[in-house]
Structure formats: C-alpha cells, structure tokens
Amino acid sequence: MDWFQTVVLSTVLSASWSAEDLTFPPGFMFGAATAAYQVEGAWNVSDKGESAWDRYTHEHPEKIKDHSNGDIACDSYHLWRRDIEMAVELGLHFYRFSISWPRLLPSGYPNYISEDGKNYYSNLIDGLLEKGIEPFVTMYHWDLPQSLQDLGGWTNPLVADWFYDYARVVFTLYGDRVKWWLTINEPLVMCDFVYNNGILAPPIMSPELGAYLCSKNVLVAHAKAWRLYDEEFRPKYNGKVSVANHHVWFDPLTPDDAELAELAREDCVGKYTHPIFSTTGGWPPSIEKVMEEVSLKRGYKSSSLPAFTPEEIALVRGTYDFYAMNHYTSRLIRKAKEGETFTAWPLGDAVDLGGIVQRRADWPLSTSFWFYVYPEGIRRQLVWLRKQYGNLEFVITENGLSTYAGLDDQDRIDYYKNYLRQILLAIKEDGVNVTGYTAWTLMDNFEWMDGYATKLGLYEVDYLDPQRKRTPRASARFYADLIKKHALDSVTVAPPNVTIV
C-alpha cells in the first residue's frame, strides 16, 4: 500500500461546492504532455544525431536509478499512432510533445535537415489535427545535440544563435499547423538543477558560474526565437509562443522568514520570468543585489550573474503571448543559523540566499525524492504571478503525481482533484485568468534520473513488451470523464496535519 492510500482519506466536500463552482470556464482546454527523450526512443535510428542525454545515460548508467536510458523508452518514434489514439480516448483538446533538436538537425546546425526527423513530427502533427487535437509543441525539452554540448552548450552565449537557427527550421516546417509553441522547457532545471547538482545531463558541476551563464543565455535564446516568430511567422500563422517555467512555491517557516521566502520565489521563478514578463525587464532587482554581494564575498570581481546590456533587456522584455506554468511541489524556507551547512539549491538549500529549505510535516512525499504534495501551492503561485506581472493568460503546462506501478492509481486521481480544485479557486475566487491545464504525463516514460522506476502516466507502459503496450489507469478514466463533463464531479482533500515520514 502506498503513502496516499494509507494516508489520504478522501473526503467529499461537495456540500460547500456548487456544480457551478466545480465547472471550468467555457473554452478551458485540457491536455496531456510528454517530451521527446522521455518517450521517443529510436535514439540512433535513421540519421538522428546524438543528444546530451544519449551521451550521459550511455556513459553514466550508474547515475540513473535503474541504470536505464531512453534508447527505446516508449518507442513513440514507431508507436505515435497509438499515442494519438490515447489522446483521442482521453478526449484531449491538445497534446503537448517536444521536438528532438538532434533528430531534426543531426549536426545541431541547419546545414542539414533530416528527412525522417522532419516527417516524423509532420505525421504526428497531421495525425493529431485529423482527430481535432491541437498540437502544443515544445521546441526544446533538454536533449541538446551533443555536438553543441561539446562547444559549451547552454553556457556558451552562441547557443542563443544556434537556437534561433533551429527555431527558424521548426517554425518554417510546422508553423502552418502548430498554433501553440513553447520555446524551452524549464530553464530552472536546465541551469540551476544541472550545474548546481550535477545529476542531470550534462554532468557538469559549476554552481558559482555555469548555472548563471546558462540562466542568461537561455533567456536570450528564448527571446530571439520569440522575436523571430513575431516578425516573420505571426503575420502568416497567428500562433502563440512562450517559455515553460518550473515553479516551486515557497512559504516562510516563520513570519520572520517572510522576506527570505519572497527572495526564494524571485530566485526560483522571478529570475526566469522578471526579464520577460515584468514591465521593467532585466533580473529581479533583489536577486541582482544578492548575487552581487555573494559573488564579491566569494572573491569574484563582479557578480556571477551576467549583466544584461540595455539592448538585451529590451530584446527579452515582453517576449510572450501567454504564461506557461509547470508546477508540482512546494517548500518552506528559513534563515540558516550561524555555521549551519547547506546542500545545493534548488534540490537542497538556497545557498546564495542563506536559506535552509524544508517541507511541512504534513506534506506527503511522492515517489520522487524532490516532490512533496501541497495542492494550495499551485493557487498561491498563480496569485503571486498575477500580482507580479498582471492578469496574463495562464496555461498550466505540467502537473501530475509520481507513484509506484499499478493500474488502480487512486492517489493520482486525488492529486489531480486537489490541484484542479485549487486552480478553480484561483479562477473563481481570485480572478486569475487560467485558460488551460496539462496533465504530466500521457504515459509512463523515462523519468530522468529515476529511469523507469517512477511512474507518472495516465497510461501504464509495459517495458517488457516489445510493443510497449499502453494500458489506461484509473486516472485515465477519471481524466477522460473530467474533460467530457468539463467539471470535477466532487472534490477531495487530504486530511490536515498528518505526518508522513
């Protein structure tokens, strides 16, 4: 029996909720998501180039929980028709998937476009549209061509031009049919997780420099791609482009830690959103200040967070058509005591901010070591974002629970219900303009350092079957029903104050 089954006594609270309260606004879109490296497999089929994740998992199987890799994964490269069928079974309005840069451009550069790569995504897009499902395309979900990684990857400022060239190919090939675009998935993970923790690809530890070079380059890369779309493709195709950020919500441990919690929000989220969504642009002033102080203390001559030039500030500011929010989990933060030691941020403590990060005792732990369940966090995060940047169009581009195997995943259903209820509260009580929701994930897949050991899928995938049979879980039926009714049929809440070890 897993933690949620043990602990969560689902309580129906419909008494205080009218049917209207449980209904999503007209036009609200529901989707599900995957990412290329996590599902496609076919890592060296046809002329596909090697990605940084291919290299990492092949050279460091010991870094992955079950020593696995994405060589075959769900084999979606061959089984994409079944993936579309699943999207139809669920009644999805859109399917979010990502394009593998080295599958399309094997060398990383646009000197050569793979015919098979091009056709693969084209068929997937056409297949979805035939069924009335919108393709919602992420251009980059962490599988950088190894050729570009060898040149410094996201720490090399030239990456912004490499990404711009790749973006032009993608928009040219698919812009006529794709109306929803995400340039880059989760700069926080690509930069802070990677260079601070050394546990994702590329395995490079550079907490004091690499993480910040990456932070700036990723923003400039996104902005160049957005401006390219805006100037050359929007007039013809009229689609929407944004960047998907990862949001960990921070609460202060005590009232004394309120300022620190705000700083943590700026560091985790604001660092990647203030430059784009604020009216002033550039780094959040509070983070700029802290980084300067910390860098000087560490003996650097200037801040490790590279400054934007005035031209770069103008280039990045305003490069969005909607706000894309990935959210899973929350944290508490408190000031570190004299001499207390830190573990690395963002999976551990907020070293630069002098903050110790922890969870509240009643937040259950999922099967991912970083992931505690706190449904209110999503609402509070949305309200914070609206306060910072105004009432933009918000789309939840990822949300879901990691569990053990099994088809009867009541725990996942509870998670979805609880988080969706908070989104409804944000819409109806706080007036936040949320227009879409994306379940992560359509099917079990390669869960990065957890390999195949952790499950997040609405569909279970049988990895022992060469056909990678996909079977709907109870949560798939729940989700299909929710989409059909356009409403939750009841709300469940976890009992408060339960301590789970």
- Confirm or reject binding of residue 326 to ligand BGC (CB under 6 A): yes
We find the least distance from the C-beta atom of residue 248 to ligand BGC, in angstroms, to be: 10
Counting residues that bind ligand BGC (by CB under 6 A) gives 12
62 is catalytic: no
CA dihedral for 480, 136, 64, 365, sign (positive or negative): negative
Burial of 292 by CB count in 10 Å (0-12 exposed, 13-18 middle, 19+ buried)? middle
Which residues 102-161 are close enough to bind ligand BGC by CB under 6 A? none
The reply to whether 100 sits near ligand BGC by the rule CB under 6 A is no
Tell me which stretch binds ligand BGC (CB under 6 A): 100-108, 185-193, 252-260, 265-273: 185-193
Strands 394-398 and 323-335: parallel
Nearer to ligand BGC, 398 or 414 (CB): 398
Which of 35/324 has CB closer to ligand BGC?
Answer: 35
For ligand BGC, the closer of residues 93 and 246 by Cβ is 246
Secondary structure string (H, E, C) spanning 77-94: HHHHHHHHHHHHHHCCCE
CA distance 287 to 102: 34
Interface positions, 36-55, toward ligand BGC (CB under 6 A): 38
Contact track, ligand BGC, 368-387, x by CB under 6 A? x-------------------
Query: Is residue 444 within the footprint of ligand BGC (CB under 6 A)?
Result: no
The nearest distance, CB 229 to ligand BGC, in angstroms, is 22
Compare residues 2 and 208 and give the one whose CB is closer to ligand BGC: 2
By the rule CB under 6 A, 327 interacts with ligand BGC: no
Nearer to ligand BGC, 252 or 451 (CB): 451
Q: Which of 10, 68, 69, 185 binds ligand BGC (CB under 6 A)?
A: 185
Q: Which is nearer to ligand BGC, 10 or 381 (CB)?
A: 381
* Helices 76-90 + 474-485 axis angle, to 10: 50
User: Out of 398, 429, 447, 460, which one is annotated catalytic?
Assistant: 398
CB-based contacts of 239: which residues, under 8 Å, 6+ apart?
Answer: 175, 178, 179, 180, 181, 229, 233, 321
**Least CB distance from residue 441 to ligand BGC, whole Å?**
6
Min dist CB 80 to ligand BGC, Å, is 18
Q: What is the C-alpha separation between 186 and 414, in angstroms, rounded?
A: 26
Q: ∠258-336-282 over CA atoms, to 5°?
A: 55
Q: Is 186 in the site for ligand BGC (CB under 6 A)?
A: yes
Contact between 486 and 23 (Cβ < 8 Å): yes
3-state per-residue secondary structure call for 307-333: CCCHHHHHHHCCCCCCEEEEEEEEEEE
Name the β-bridge partners of 333. 252, 357
Rounded (10°) angle between helices 376-389 and 410-428 = 30
Distance CA(151)–CA(162), nearest Å, equals 11
C-alpha 151 chain-centroid distance:
25
Q: Closest distance between ligand BGC and the C-beta of residue 236, in Å?
A: 30
Task: Give, as ranges, the residues between 236 and 265 that touch ligand BGC (CB under 6 A).
Answer: 246
- Please report whether residue 399 would count as binding ligand BGC according to CB under 6 A: no
Residue 468 token pair: 């990678």
> Residue written as tokens 């992420």?
138
Q: Which is nearer to ligand BGC, 241 or 456 (CB)?
A: 456
Question: Pattern 452-481, binding to ligand BGC, x per CB under 6 A?
Answer: ----x-------------------------
35 is an interface residue for ligand BGC by CB under 6 A:
yes
Tell me 24's DSSP state. P
Please report how close the Cβ of residue 369 comes to ligand BGC at its closest, in angstroms.
Answer: 11
Q: How far is the CB of 231 from ligand BGC (least distance, A)?
A: 29
Give whichever of 74 and 294 is closer to ligand BGC, judged by the CB atom: 74
- Binding to ligand BGC (CB under 6 A) within 263-302 occurs at none
Shortest distance in whole angstroms from residue 338 CB to ligand BGC:
34
371's CB contacts (< 8 A; 6+ apart) are 328, 329, 365, 401, 402
Q: Which is nearer to ligand BGC, 147 or 445 (CB)?
A: 445
> Which of positions 350-369 make contact with ligand BGC (CB under 6 A)?
368
* Closer to ligand BGC by Cβ: residue 216 or 246: 246
Q: What residues does 495 pair with on adjacent strands?
A: none
189 lies in the site for ligand BGC, by CB under 6 A: yes
Of 61-69, 182-190, 330-338, 410-418: span binding ligand BGC (CB under 6 A): 182-190
Collect all residues with Cβ–Cβ distance below 8 Å to 7 and sequence separation of at least 6: 364, 494, 495, 498, 500
d(CA 51, CA 378): 33
Interface pattern 411-440 for ligand BGC (x via CB under 6 A) = -----------------------------x
C-alpha distance from residue 315 to each of 5, 41, 281, 325 (Å): 49, 36, 9, 22
User: How far apart are the C-alpha atoms of 163 and 169, rounded to whole Å?
Assistant: 10
Binding-site member from 83, 134, 288, 398 for ligand BGC (CB under 6 A): 398
Residues with Cβ within 8 Å of residue 388, at least 6 apart in sequence: 270, 273, 274, 277, 278
List residues near ligand BGC by CB under 6 A. Answer: 35, 38, 185-186, 189, 246, 326, 368, 398, 440, 447, 456
Give the catalytic positions in this structure.
Answer: 398
